[in-house]
Amino acid sequence: MLRRAVLAILTLTVLSLFTAGPAAAYTPVDIVHTERVQAGPYAVTVGFSTWPIRAMHSLDFVFMPDGGIAGKSGELTVKGPGVRHGERSTPLVRHPRKLDSWGLDVKAYDDPGAYSFGFAIDGPQGHGEGVLDNVRILDQPGPPLPLSWTIGSLPLIGLLVFLAVVWRRMRPGRAAPAL
């Protein structure tokens, strides 16, 4: 009996190791929409993994300057309704899953509206600046958040009611002493 259990567990372990695929975090970035921006002497292709963009929906942004990112550095400035203080600047860093480009990995914007992405790039051809203006982010998909949270919390509320009823019927600590 014990041998069968050990053999079954060993078989399941080996089978799961051989059938496991690559982790989803390392899948390539699928670019479904691109825009071109001229940042001084540098042409930059901005790629989006989801189009149209919706608020509170994660997606990848990829920034690919012509000629690659080697020997270049840059800064990204984002302006829009969902950005604190109206504007946020960050250095352009290598995308973690598309190593030949700069990018933002699984980024989501909370508020719908018009956003702009500004680029300042320094490289062998000098300094260049450009802006991708009027990128529309639509309302979030699905029902409004309060409704979603209410529906999602119903099982927890049901569990709490069930535990309260069981607690009152059982009356712990009031059991008759054993003889």
Within a 13 Å sphere around the CA of 127, how many CA atoms are in the beta-carbon half? 2
Do 151 and 117 share a domain, yes or no? Answer: no
Query: Is residue 13 included in any domain, yes or no?
Result: no
The 10s digit of each residue's pLDDT in 24-34 is 455 678 889 99
CATH number, domain containing residue 94: 2.20.130
H-run or E-run covering 148: helix 145-170
Same domain, 51 and 123: yes
Lowest average pLDDT, out of 35-49, 98-112, 165-179, goes to 165-179
pTM of the model: 0.68
Q: Are residues 76 and 160 in the same domain?
A: no
State the chain's mean pLDDT as an integer. 86
Looking at the fold, whether 65 and 147 belong to one and the same domain comes out as no
- Asked, for residue 84, whether it belongs to a domain, the answer is yes
Q: Do residues 131 and 78 share a domain?
A: yes
Domain presence at residue 112:
yes
Q: Which residues contact 140 (CB under 8 A, 6 or more apart)?
A: 54, 55, 56, 57, 112
154, part of any domain? yes
Residue 102 and residue 50 share a domain: yes
**Do 101 and 150 belong together in one domain?**
no
Structural domains counted in the chain:
2
Q: For the segment 107-162, what is each residue's pLDDT rounded down to a tens digit? A: 888 889 999 999 999 999 999 999 999 999 998 888 888 888 899 999 999 999 99
Question: Are 97 and 54 found together in one domain?
Answer: yes
pLDDT beyond 80 at 2? no
**What pLDDT is recorded for position 32?**
92
In this prediction, residue 20 has a pLDDT band, given cuts at 50, 70 and 90, of: low
Q: Say whether pLDDT at 175 is over 70.
A: no
pLDDT-based confidence at residue 168 (cuts at 50, 70, 90): confident
Give yes or no: residues 122 and 102 share one domain.
Answer: yes
Residues 50 and 99 in one domain: yes
Residue 55, phi then psi, degrees to nearest 5:
-60, 145
Sheet holding 42-48, edge to edge: 33-39, 42-48, 59-65, 102-107
Q: Name the more confident of 62 and 143.
A: 62
Q: How confident is the model at residue 43 (pLDDT cuts 50, 70, 90)?
A: very high
- Whether 164 maps to a domain, the answer reads yes
Tell me which residue range forms the domain holding 146. 142-169
